[in-house]
C-alpha cells in the first residue's frame, strides 16, 4: 500500500472514530454532517418572487405586529418628549380660550384709601381721609374682526401643535420599530455565527483525532483552529451588538421586551411609489406646516385690523366717603352708562407690521412647498433602496441554496474521498455563513427602509393600527 493510501486509510479510521465519539453526527442517508443545521432559526429563503415568501417563518410565530404595537405603546407612555409635546398642544388650546375671551364681558372693581379732594367752580374741597371704591363693566362689540382673526390664528397654531405632537409620536414609533428590527438582525447574526462556531469546533475536534494518527496534517488543525477563533470573534461581536441594541431599546420601551420571534416576516410588502408619493401630504410634519401657513394668513388679517375702529359698551360707578378736611364728613357717588368708540387716526406702525406678517406667511408657504418636494424625492429614493434590498434578499436566497449544496459536497469529498483539502472545506463554510449573514442584513435593511417609507407618508403608527 502506498503512502497516499495509508494516509487515506488513517483518515477514514479517524473519521469513523469521530463518528463513534459523536463529533460528526450522521444524516439519515448515512452521510456525515458537523452541525445541528435543522435548528436554524433564520427565515427560510424561498424561490418565489416576493420577499415575503423569501422570509416566511418555518413554524408558527407570535404576531410580530402585535409585538411592535406593544413596544411602541410602551415607548409612547414612557417618553418625556411625547409628554412635553402633549403639554405644548394643551397650552395652545388654552391660548385659544384666552384670545376668544377678549370679546366676553369684562368686569373690574377698585378701591383706595387716603387723603383726597375735588375742585370745581364752587371751590376746592378736601378730605383728610377718604375711602374710594369703583366698579367697571364693559364689553367689546366691534374691532374690525381683529379678535376673530387672532382666534383663528391661535386655532391653527393649536392644530400645528397637535400635529407636532403626532410627529413626535411618529418619530418615536419609527425609532422603536427600527431598534426592534436591529435587535432581530443581531439576534440572527448570533444564531448564524453560533452555528459557524459549532461547525468549526466540530471540524477541529475531528482533526485533533486525525492528527493523533497522522502528524503530517497538523497544519490543517492549525488552520481549522484559526477559523474557529475567527468565528468566535464574530459571534462575540454580534452578541455585543445585540446587547447594545437591547440597551437602546429598553430605554425606549422598558425592560419587558417581547421576544423578537417573527420579526423577519413583517414590513415585507413595499407599496407602489405613486401611492407613497400621494401619502406624503398625509404626514404629521406636512400637516403641521400646513396649519402654520394658514395661521400666518390669519395673523396678517389680525394685524391689518389693528387700525380699525373699536366699539364697546361700559357701565361704571364710583363711591367715596370722606371725613375731616374742609367739609367734614362727605359722601359722593357717580355712575356712567353708554357706548364707547375708539377711532385710530394715525397708526404708522400698522402698514409695515402688516407687510412683515404677509411676508412671513409667504415664507411659510414656501417652506411647506419645499418640505413636500423634498419628501417626495426622498420617498422615491428610499423606495428604490427598499426594492433593491429585497431584490438582494431574493438573489442571495438563490445563491444560498447553491452554497448549501456546494458545502455539503465539499465536506463529503474531503471526509470520504480525499479529493478536497481542508482549505476548500473551510472556504465553502465561510462563504456559506457569510451569505447567510448577508441575507439577514439585506432582509433587515429592506424592512427598515420600508418603515422609513411609511414614516414619510401615512406613518408607522397608522400601519401598526
For residue 26, the model assigns a pLDDT of 40
Tell me how far apart the alpha carbons of residues 173 and 179 are, in angstroms, rounded to a whole number.
10
Tell me how far apart the alpha carbons of residues 379 and 284 are, in angstroms, rounded to a whole number.
15
CA-based radius of gyration for the chain: 40
Average confidence (pLDDT) over 274-295: 94
**Residues 101-149: pLDDT tens digits?**
998 999 999 888 878 666 666 566 677 677 888 899 998 899 888 999 9
Q: What percent of the chain has pLDDT over 70?
A: 83
Q: Which of 116, 142, 165 is nearest to 340 (CA)?
A: 142
On whether the pTM is more than 0.95, the answer is no
Q: What's the mean pLDDT when you consider all of the chain?
A: 83
**Weakest-pLDDT range from 96-100, 119-123, 316-320:** 119-123
Query: What topology does CATH give the domain 3-104+146-307+350-464?
Result: Outer membrane efflux proteins (OEP) (1.20.1600)
For residue 48, the model assigns a pLDDT of 32
Asked whether residue 187 carries a pLDDT value surpassing 80, the answer given is yes
Q: Which of 42, 53, 48, 46 is nearest to 438 (CA)?
A: 42
Tell me how far apart the alpha carbons of residues 264 and 43 are, in angstroms, rounded to a whole number.
7
For residue 345, the model assigns a pLDDT of 86
**Weakest-pLDDT range from 67-71, 312-316, 354-358, 413-417:** 413-417
**Residues 36-50: pLDDT tens digits?**
443 444 444 333 334
Other CB atoms within a 10 A radius of the CB of residue 68 amount to: 24
User: Which cell numbers hold the place of 425?
Assistant: 472545506
Asked whether residue 220 carries a pLDDT value surpassing 70, the answer given is yes
Asked whether residue 3 carries a pLDDT value surpassing 60, the answer given is no
Phi, psi angles (nearest 5°) of residue 38: -65, -15
For residue 170, the model assigns a pLDDT of 95
Asked whether residue 449 carries a pLDDT value surpassing 70, the answer given is yes
For residue 260, the model assigns a pLDDT of 80
Residue 32's beta-bridge partner residues?
A: 26
Domain ranges of the chain: 3-104+146-307+350-464, 105-142+309-343
For residue 8, the model assigns a pLDDT of 39
For residue 43, the model assigns a pLDDT of 46
Residue at grid coordinates 400645528: 160
Q: What is the largest CA-CA distance in the chain?
A: 150
- Chain centroid to Cα 31, Å, comes to 49
Q: Which of 434, 433, 35, 40 is nearest to 201 (CA)?
A: 35
Amino acid at each position: 500500500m502506498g503512502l497516499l493510501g495509508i494516509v487515506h486509510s488513517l483518515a477514514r479510521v479517524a473519521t469513523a472514530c469521530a463518528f463513534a465519539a459523536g463529533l460528526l453526527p450522521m444524516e439519515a442517508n448515512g452521510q456525515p454532517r458537523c452541525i445541528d443545521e435543522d435548528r436554524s432559526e433564520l427565515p427560510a429563503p424561498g424561490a418565489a418572487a416576493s420577499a415575503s415568501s423569501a422570509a416566511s417563518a418555518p413554524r408558527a410565530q407570535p404576531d410580530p405586529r402585535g409585538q411592535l404595537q406593544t413596544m411602541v405603546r410602551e415607548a409612547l407612555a414612557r417618553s418625556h418628549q411625547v409628554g412635553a409635546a402633549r403639554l405644548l398642544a394643551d397650552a395652545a388650546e388654552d391660548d385659544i380660550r384666552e384670545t376668544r375671551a377678549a370679546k366676553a364681558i369684562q368686569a373690574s372693581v377698585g378701591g383706595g384709601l387716603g387723603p383726597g379732594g375735588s375742585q370745581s367752580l364752587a371751590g376746592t374741597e378736601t378730605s383728610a381721609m377718604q375711602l374710594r371704591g369703583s366698579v367697571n363693566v364693559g364689553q367689546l362689540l366691534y374691532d374690525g374682526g381683529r379678535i376673530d382673526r387672532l382666534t383663528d390664528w391661535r386655532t391653527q397654531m393649536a392644530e400645528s401643535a397637535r400635529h407636532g405632537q403626532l410627529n413626535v409620536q411618529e418619530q418615536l414609533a419609527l425609532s422603536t420599530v427600527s431598534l426592534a428590527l436591529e435587535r432581530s438582525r443581531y439576534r440572527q447574526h448570533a444564531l448564524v455565527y453560533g452555528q459557524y462556531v459549532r461547525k468549526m469546533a466540530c471540524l477541529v475536534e475531528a482533526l485533533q483525532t486525525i492528527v493523533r494518527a497522522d502528524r503530517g496534517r497538523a497544519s490543517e488543525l492549525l488552520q481549522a483552529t484559526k477559523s474557529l477563533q475567527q468565528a468566535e470573534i464574530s459571534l462575540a461581536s454580534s452578541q455585543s451588538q445585540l446587547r447594545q441594541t437591547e440597551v437602546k431599546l429598553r430605554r425606549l420601551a422598558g425592560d419587558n421586551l417581547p421576544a423578537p420571534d417573527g420579526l423577519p416576516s413583517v414590513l415585507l410588502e413595499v407599496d407602489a411609489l405613486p401611492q407613497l408619493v400621494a401619502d406624503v401630504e398625509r404626514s404629521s410634519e406636512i400637516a403641521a406646516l400646513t396649519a402654520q401657513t394658514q395661521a400666518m394668513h390669519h395673523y396678517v388679517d389680525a394685524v391689518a385690523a389693528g387700525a380699525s375702529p373699536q366699539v364697546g359698551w361700559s357701565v361704571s360707578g364710583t363711591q367715596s366717603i370722606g371725613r375731616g378736611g374742609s367739609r367734614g364728613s362727605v359722601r359722593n357717588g357717580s355712575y356712567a352708562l353708554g357706548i364707547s368708540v375708539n377711532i385710530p387716526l394715525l397708526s404708522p406702525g400698522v402698514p409695515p407690521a402688516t407687510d412683515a406678517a404677509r411676508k412671513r406667511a409667504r415664507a411659510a408657504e414656501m417652506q411647506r412647498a419645499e418640505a413636500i418636494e423634498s419628501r417626495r424625492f426622498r420617498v422615491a429614493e428610499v423606495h428604490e433602496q427598499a426594492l433593491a434590498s429585497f431584490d438582494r434578499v431574493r438573489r442571495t436566497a438563490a445563491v444560498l441554496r447553491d452554497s448549501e449544496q456546494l458545502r455539503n459536497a465539499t465536506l463529503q469529498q474531503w471526509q470520504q474521498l480525499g479529493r478536497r483539502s481542508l482549505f476548500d472545506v473551510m472556504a465553502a463554510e465561510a462563504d456559506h455563513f457569510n451569505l447567510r449573514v448577508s441575507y439577514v442584513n439585506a432582509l433587515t435593511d429592506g424592512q427598515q427602509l420600508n418603515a422609513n417609507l411609511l414614516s414619510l407618508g401615512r406613518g408607522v403608527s397608522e400601519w401598526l393600527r
